[in-house]
Structure 1
Amino acid sequence: MNHSEIVSFLWGIADLIRDTFKRGKYQDVILPFTVLRRLDCVLAPTKEKVLEEYARYQGKLENLDPLLRRASGLSFYNTSPYDFEKLLADPPNLAANLRNYIAGFSPNMREVLERFDFDNTISKLDEAGLLFKVMERFKRVDLHPDKVDNHTMGTIFEELIRRFNEALNENPGEHFTPRDVVHLMVELMLAGDEGRLRGPGVVRTVYDPCCGTGGMLTIAKEHITKGWRRNGEMIRPAINPEAEIHLFGQEVNPETWAICRSDLFIKDPKGRDANNIAFGSVLSNDGHAGRTFDYMIANPPYGKDWKRDEEAVRAEHERGEAGRFGPGLPRISDGQLLFLLHMLAHMKPPEEGGSRIAIIMNGSPLFNGDAGSGESEIRRYILERDLLEAIVALPEQLFYNTGIATYVWVLTNRKAPERRGMVQLIDATHFWVPMRKSLGDKRREIPPEMAEDIVQILRDFRDGDTRRILQDGKEEEVVVSRIFPVSHFGYRKITVERPLRLNFQASPERIARLEEERAFQNLAKSKKKGPAAEREIAEGRAQQEAIRRFLASLPQTLYKDREEFERLLEQESRKAGLKLTAPLRKAILSALSERDETAAICRDKNGQPEPDPELRDTENVPLPDGDDPTDTEGVPASVRAYFEREVKPYVPDAWIDTRKRDPRDGKVGIVGYEINFNRYFYRYTPPRPLEEIEIEIRAIERDIMRLLAEITSGTWEENAR
């Protein structure tokens, strides 16, 4: 059977268990039994030899593990006398014998199987009378690597998990990366490093912090040591078949972790790579703390919150540069950028060879967050340290569970000389072909020849590079590459203030507003209890009434100078014998005032203009390419020039709030970074001519009239037919 037939066969087991297990629990049966059957097939050729060695040396040697590994020819073994065939030969004792069989695995593989909560699944199947039927069905399929190679087996596992996620309608971020996307990401990660990977004695490490079933890791290794193949056809030969590639990863989901580990145990007789796959949340419990890696690749979950890791993440953020998350924290609802910071913390220093990273994320890490926010500060950290080499925009509808736009970020701390201080943006949204059959939301794929073209655009590093594409049935040339200096994505957000101008009048309408002021309302409230409270409330109400009468006695003249009105208020309140506290005075001024552009500027005690909060605005001033000296107020020259050119001519009374300063450089204005990708590849599409639209509307009208005529002219029976 090919992989599609095997997937359908295994998925068909759901028909056996649908009355006992809910749809969301199918994977609790199908995944562990698929792994178990695979292991059973792998161990079959050396099973007897392992049992002979075990019987011969049991009780004679303290540690049989090396001996039994050598006998099995793998990094794991099974000392139980059972296999699938012998288990099915004794149906009454199947559950007990199956547990004995699982307990017979070597400790490293038993740890893998325990992640499936196998014992509970066995009990449920046995109670429902389904255990024999399920195992008998699995025995029919031969999953030995000679029949189903490791690459195909990985595809089978990912297709099964895709179906499980689809059945559960999982979050769009909970998906596995399609193979065409993985191949492209690996090629982008390795681009330009072919020379470093060739030659004798090459040893490199590849790391994925959210490795799932391990597809990205194994494909990266295959690209280096075996080449890129598709359906048996060689797309690109191996870079170095003799290179020693060590794989590292971490996974939080127990089932996918178990699949990854078991797969790597089968692929590597020494079990080295499998032992490098840590379990747990990488954000709160880094399984490879202190290690650095040559290459890193990841597809973190999109739009998934990091609440479960919040305490640990915030604690590490407080450590600053000593922790992984010192540059900033994104909003709690989306942790994508935390995975990127984690990968940056595992980069090798440039003097030790440096690292290259490929990570795929949705659009929010490009622009979410204002200046000074966690997202902006993370982008600032990356760009100001010149770690971002390129961003590649991919087509939509590439993933199984979501059709959203995605972007591959390529980062490195050892840029080529011509790339230093520059960032390349690649628009690959047109590089796709429709799939013959959709898989969930995946309706498009990137064929190898188009993936190679995308990588070539990265290699060529040309601003304004173009490609001819088919758009709406017409072939047209579009720009696919733009190159900008790092500073191009930065800006300084300044706060622009305008003076407060108010007029005042003691009119009945404005006096009535005083009832809404909290300070005035509090006069008739008391925190005391009993008669004392009633007495205090009565006194307050009397004071309220006295203030109303006082304000009504004032002239209804319109005052356009606050100082003049305040003097009047002070004089008249003394005459009336009223004592106005500061809160009451403020409440009265608020109630009796209205904004007036023709009024005098309101000033503080120092004679400085007071800002009007309602007229407050902000401006994002682009960062200059070179130095940006400041004046005596701490305002950068670029900001002052922008303000004089873009703001002052239109609002002459405006000024820059020099108190709002960037906490990192101390200059006026908060520095922010964003990458508005679509802006750089926008193509204007002119609207259709009005005449063409009018002709189309009239044609539709004629069709409607014709249909109405047909309906009304026929008999009731004819129309019904």
Structure 2
Amino acid sequence: MSLAATVSEKANLIWAIADKLTGVFKPHQYGEVILPLTVIRRFDSVLEPGKQAVLDACKQYADSPLLDKLLEKASGYAFYNTSPFTFARLLDAPADLEANFRAYCNAFSPNVRQILERFKPFWPHLATMSEKNVLYMVLKEFTTSKADLHPDKVSNLEMGYIFEELIRRFSEAHNEDAGQHYTPREVIELMVNLLFTHDSAALSGASVTKSIYDPACGTGGMLSVAQEHIHSLNSRASLVLCGQELNDETFAICKADMLIKGNEADFIKSGNTLSDDQFAGQQFDYILSNPPFGREWKNEKAAVEREAKQVDGRFSAGLPSISDSQMLFLQTAVARLKPEGRAAIIQNGSPLFTGDAGSGPSEIRRFILENDFLDAIIALPNDIFYNTGIATYIWVLSKAKSASRRGKVQLINANGLFEKRRKSLGNKRNDIPPAAIAEICQLYGDFAESNISKIFDVADFGYTKITVERPAESEAAPESADKSEQREAPAPAALVPYAAPSCVPDTAPKKRGRKPGGGRKPRKADASRRDTENVPLKEDIQDYFKREVLPFAPDAWIDESKSRVGYEIPFTRYFYEYTPPRPAAELAVEIRELEMELAGHLANLFGE
């Protein structure tokens, strides 16, 4: 049976167990029961072969100070359970089922008990299940061969898929935001392949150890796929998986999965990454993440602003809108990368262009671009996520670009590289097939231009926003034309001074002895006649001013104290393809055909 078939079959069987809860719980509560039971059943199945050895060791070494380590050795894992019960044996005493089940759960090793405690709604639900006489039926369903989660029947890889599929289904069933916990596997595979495209040599050898971090790790899917990929390149390589997750249930599932796989589960941390960073001061070889889109950071505002004031703080470059925290995660990725590190992080379209020169988002882009951290941006197809159909992008960051990529940014438009799904899953109507993943990674690895791949200098995304002042009408010189009628002015900028860019040409405004408008300086600027211009960084400001402003406003001058450098990445504009309108004659024929067809339908309807 294929991987997809196994995952689908097991997920369907576990999903069906929720039918036993009908009438006792509301549909939105089903996941609060079934998900923790799935985790417990998985632990139970994994520990089954060493069960008797653990019970024997518990008796033999009861007074030993090393009991914990001896029990781990007996179980064969970094966890154990000292209860004589298993899921199957619990059913032998139906009258005492709730008490025995709680005793069974309390007999797990401390690290597992800490995980189970995160499923907070489950424990009161357990009493309700017992009271309503459904606990026995539900546990019995979990002990049948159809729902067997033994490692011989369900691999760790498959179990990870099953956890994620169940979360998606339960969340979708009551319109929760499943996408904040679940990223489609083909998207993760694309990100991982991009991340390791240039690192095959670095991952070879017998004693390779790399670290990877996800600041919004969910159930740990990205970390697991990265580990699988590295092991496919070098089975002897070691990968330290680190992550932080805010949601209690997904954190518990991630930590349980890591524990069962033999990874260091203590490196999976609980808490809010933005306000309670559990990895402060640490840096990693790789970072992978799909942080939430459009999630406000109002609750974290005080902590974020406090860190933004620190010179070495994650957010010192700037702050995005309070309504969207994703650029805070982008800055977290930059801050947590080692000097030779690489990252792949998903963002929606707004971080590309929102915010005028001097604003928080523009300052964040400026920091990333001028330090030459941005390696590539890949536009993904629409409708590939479960909770949104909007445009999404992978930002590939690197702190140690190869010589050929220094000062450059590659944009790849993979928007058309998808295949339609036979059946939609929420908003997910499209998949990225393996061939498309290979094509994208080939374009990225070759660093070559094509119809969907373009390469730019960092300075191509920068501009200086200048403020053009003019005197009152009574003092104004004669004009050949009114430029304000010909071109629309951008919005005013925030007032934030800047040093010259570090990796782009120094085209910031220079102090001049006289104003460029010619003649004497006017006594006072008329605010109602103020205008702004965005001058590309690669262009001389005075040349631009003489060409684009003075012919239309000879009495104008630049207020250099208000000039600001900004950055934006107008991705769509670079790949826009003009489609000419259809000929009028062709449209007329089509309209006539539709009119005749409509007339025929009306005649049939009214019997004319």
- Name the residue aligned to 1:693: 587
- Name the residue aligned to 1:485: 457
For residues 316-363 of structure 1, what are the alpha-carbon distances to aligned partners after superposition, in whole Å with 9 as ceiling and x for unaligned? Answer: 0011x22111111111110111111111111112xxxx1000001110
- Name the residue aligned to 1:250: 244
* Alignment of 1:199 onto 2:174: no
- Name the residue aligned to 1:658: 560
- Name the residue aligned to 1:449: 435
- Name the residue aligned to 2:321: 331
> How do 1:38-57 residues align onto structure 2 when only pairs under 5 Å count?
38-57=42-61
* Alignment of 1:267 onto 2:261: yes
- Name the residue aligned to 2:364: 378
Q: Which has the larger radius of gyration?
A: 1
Q: Is the CA contact 1:37–1:138 (under 8 Å) kept in the aligned structure 2?
A: yes
* Alignment of 1:623 onto 2:543: no
- Amino acid paired to 1:697: I
Of the three residues 238, 241, 248, the one matched with 2:235 is 241
For residues 401-422 of structure 1, what are the alpha-carbon distances to aligned partners after superposition, in whole Å with 9 as ceiling and x for unaligned? Answer: 1111110010111100010000
What are structure 1's unaligned runs of at least 5 residues?
226-237, 464-477, 503-560, 563-605, 626-637, 661-668, 715-721
- Amino acid paired to 2:235: P
Q: Is the CA contact 2:222–2:289 (under 8 Å) kept in the aligned structure 1?
A: yes
Once residues 711 and 339 of structure 1 are traced to their aligned partners in structure 2, the CA distance between those partners, rounded to angstroms, is 60
- Amino acid paired to 1:132: Y
Once residues 594 and 7 of structure 2 are traced to their aligned partners in structure 1, the CA distance between those partners, rounded to angstroms, is 50
Once residues 391 and 428 of structure 1 are traced to their aligned partners in structure 2, the CA distance between those partners, rounded to angstroms, is 10
Of the three residues 341, 363, 367, the one matched with 2:331 is 341
- Amino acid paired to 2:531: D
For residues 291-311 of structure 1, what are the alpha-carbon distances to aligned partners after superposition, in whole Å with 9 as ceiling and x for unaligned? Answer: 111111000001111112111
- Name the residue aligned to 1:368: 354
- Name the residue aligned to 2:525: 611
Once residues 38 and 295 of structure 2 are traced to their aligned partners in structure 1, the CA distance between those partners, rounded to angstroms, is 29
Secondary structure in 1 aligned to 2:299? helix
Once residues 198 and 455 of structure 1 are traced to their aligned partners in structure 2, the CA distance between those partners, rounded to angstroms, is 20
Once residues 500 and 20 of structure 1 are traced to their aligned partners in structure 2, the CA distance between those partners, rounded to angstroms, is 76
Of the three residues 315, 323, 326, the one matched with 2:306 is 315
- Name the residue aligned to 2:22: 18
- Name the residue aligned to 1:635: none
Q: Is the CA contact 1:394–1:405 (under 8 Å) kept in the aligned structure 2?
A: yes
For residues 385-436 of structure 1, what are the alpha-carbon distances to aligned partners after superposition, in whole Å with 9 as ceiling and x for unaligned? Answer: 0000000001001011111111001011110001000000001111111122
Secondary structure in 1 aligned to 2:127? helix
What is the Cα deviation at residue 278 of structure 1? 0.7
For residues 461-495 of structure 1, what are the alpha-carbon distances to aligned partners after superposition, in whole Å with 9 as ceiling and x for unaligned? Answer: 123xxxxxxxxxxxxxx711111100100011111
Identity rate of aligned residues, in percent? 52
Count residues with an aligned counterpart: 558
Secondary structure in 1 aligned to 2:244? strand
- Name the residue aligned to 1:440: 426
- Name the residue aligned to 1:124: 128
For residues 269-298 of structure 1, what are the alpha-carbon distances to aligned partners after superposition, in whole Å with 9 as ceiling and x for unaligned? Answer: xxx421110110111111112211111100
Once residues 240 and 181 of structure 2 are traced to their aligned partners in structure 1, the CA distance between those partners, rounded to angstroms, is 25
| Runs of 4 or more consecutive aligned structure 1 residues displaced over 4 Å after TM superposition | none
- Amino acid paired to 1:653: D
What is the Cα deviation at residue 129 of structure 1? 2.0
Q: Is the CA contact 1:173–1:302 (under 8 Å) kept in the aligned structure 2?
A: no
What is the Cα deviation at residue 607 of structure 1? 8.5
What is the Cα deviation at residue 200 of structure 1? 2.3
Once residues 606 and 154 of structure 2 are traced to their aligned partners in structure 1, the CA distance between those partners, rounded to angstroms, is 66
- Name the residue aligned to 1:82: 85
Once residues 171 and 612 of structure 1 are traced to their aligned partners in structure 2, the CA distance between those partners, rounded to angstroms, is 51
Q: Is the CA contact 1:172–1:302 (under 8 Å) kept in the aligned structure 2?
A: no
Of the three residues 397, 409, 421, the one matched with 1:411 is 397
Q: Is the CA contact 1:252–1:280 (under 8 Å) kept in the aligned structure 2?
A: yes
Secondary structure in 2 aligned to 1:205? strand
- Name the residue aligned to 1:151: 157
Q: Is the CA contact 1:210–1:249 (under 8 Å) kept in the aligned structure 2?
A: yes
Secondary structure in 1 aligned to 2:534? strand
Once residues 496 and 172 of structure 1 are traced to their aligned partners in structure 2, the CA distance between those partners, rounded to angstroms, is 49
For residues 254-283 of structure 1, what are the alpha-carbon distances to aligned partners after superposition, in whole Å with 9 as ceiling and x for unaligned? Answer: 101111111111111xxx421110110111
Once residues 473 and 403 of structure 2 are traced to their aligned partners in structure 1, the CA distance between those partners, rounded to angstroms, is 56
- Name the residue aligned to 1:300: 291
Q: Is the CA contact 1:370–1:376 (under 8 Å) kept in the aligned structure 2?
A: yes
What is the Cα deviation at residue 62 of structure 1? 2.4
Secondary structure in 1 aligned to 2:233? coil
Secondary structure in 1 aligned to 2:284? coil
- Name the residue aligned to 2:486: none
Relative to structure 1, is the Cα distance of residues 687 and 607 closer, same or farther in structure 2, using a 3 angstrom cutoff? closer
For residues 129-168 of structure 1, what are the alpha-carbon distances to aligned partners after superposition, in whole Å with 9 as ceiling and x for unaligned? Answer: 2211111111121101110111111111111111122123
Relative to structure 1, is the Cα distance of residues 657 and 95 closer, same or farther in structure 2, using a 3 angstrom cutoff? same
Relative to structure 1, is the Cα distance of residues 433 and 607 closer, same or farther in structure 2, using a 3 angstrom cutoff? closer
What is the Cα deviation at residue 657 of structure 1? 1.8
> How do 1:77-226 residues align onto structure 2 when only pairs under 5 Å count?
77-117=80-120, 118-140=122-144, 141-171=147-177, 174-225=180-231
Q: Is the CA contact 1:173–1:304 (under 8 Å) kept in the aligned structure 2?
A: no
- Amino acid paired to 1:623: L
Q: Which stretch has the larger CA shift, 159-168 or 365-374? A: 159-168
For residues 532-554 of structure 1, what are the alpha-carbon distances to aligned partners after superposition, in whole Å with 9 as ceiling and x for unaligned? Answer: xxxxxxxxxxxxxxxxxxxxxxx
For residues 596-645 of structure 1, what are the alpha-carbon distances to aligned partners after superposition, in whole Å with 9 as ceiling and x for unaligned? Answer: xxxxxxxxxx99443333322211110028xxxxxxxxxxxx22211111
* Alignment of 1:641 onto 2:543: yes
What are structure 2's unaligned runs of at least 5 residues?
477-519
CA RMSD, Structure 1 to Structure 2 (Å) = 1.7
What is the Cα deviation at residue 56 of structure 1? 1.6
Once residues 179 and 528 of structure 2 are traced to their aligned partners in structure 1, the CA distance between those partners, rounded to angstroms, is 40
- Amino acid paired to 1:67: L
Once residues 607 and 274 of structure 1 are traced to their aligned partners in structure 2, the CA distance between those partners, rounded to angstroms, is 69
TM normalised by structure 2 equals 0.89
Secondary structure in 1 aligned to 2:314? coil
Secondary structure in 2 aligned to 1:2? helix
Once residues 84 and 712 of structure 1 are traced to their aligned partners in structure 2, the CA distance between those partners, rounded to angstroms, is 69
For residues 176-226 of structure 1, what are the alpha-carbon distances to aligned partners after superposition, in whole Å with 9 as ceiling and x for unaligned? Answer: 11000000000001111101111221111111111111110011011111x
For residues 110-139 of structure 1, what are the alpha-carbon distances to aligned partners after superposition, in whole Å with 9 as ceiling and x for unaligned? Answer: 100110024222122122222111111111
Once residues 433 and 344 of structure 1 are traced to their aligned partners in structure 2, the CA distance between those partners, rounded to angstroms, is 33
- Name the residue aligned to 1:595: none
TM normalised by structure 1 equals 0.75
Once residues 573 and 89 of structure 2 are traced to their aligned partners in structure 1, the CA distance between those partners, rounded to angstroms, is 66
* Alignment of 1:702 onto 2:596: yes
Once residues 30 and 22 of structure 2 are traced to their aligned partners in structure 1, the CA distance between those partners, rounded to angstroms, is 8
Secondary structure in 2 aligned to 1:456? helix
Q: Is the CA contact 1:173–1:303 (under 8 Å) kept in the aligned structure 2?
A: no
Q: Is the CA contact 1:175–1:400 (under 8 Å) kept in the aligned structure 2?
A: no
* Alignment of 1:495 onto 2:409: no
Relative to structure 1, is the Cα distance of residues 13 and 479 closer, same or farther in structure 2, using a 3 angstrom cutoff? same
Once residues 306 and 51 of structure 1 are traced to their aligned partners in structure 2, the CA distance between those partners, rounded to angstroms, is 49
Secondary structure in 2 aligned to 1:283? coil
What is the Cα deviation at residue 173 of structure 1? 5.5
What is the Cα deviation at residue 171 of structure 1? 4.2
Once residues 177 and 103 of structure 2 are traced to their aligned partners in structure 1, the CA distance between those partners, rounded to angstroms, is 38
Q: Is the CA contact 1:200–1:243 (under 8 Å) kept in the aligned structure 2?
A: yes
Q: Is the CA contact 1:283–1:338 (under 8 Å) kept in the aligned structure 2?
A: yes
For residues 201-252 of structure 1, what are the alpha-carbon distances to aligned partners after superposition, in whole Å with 9 as ceiling and x for unaligned? Answer: 1111111111111110011011111xxxxxxxxxxxx221111111111111
Once residues 406 and 6 of structure 1 are traced to their aligned partners in structure 2, the CA distance between those partners, rounded to angstroms, is 31
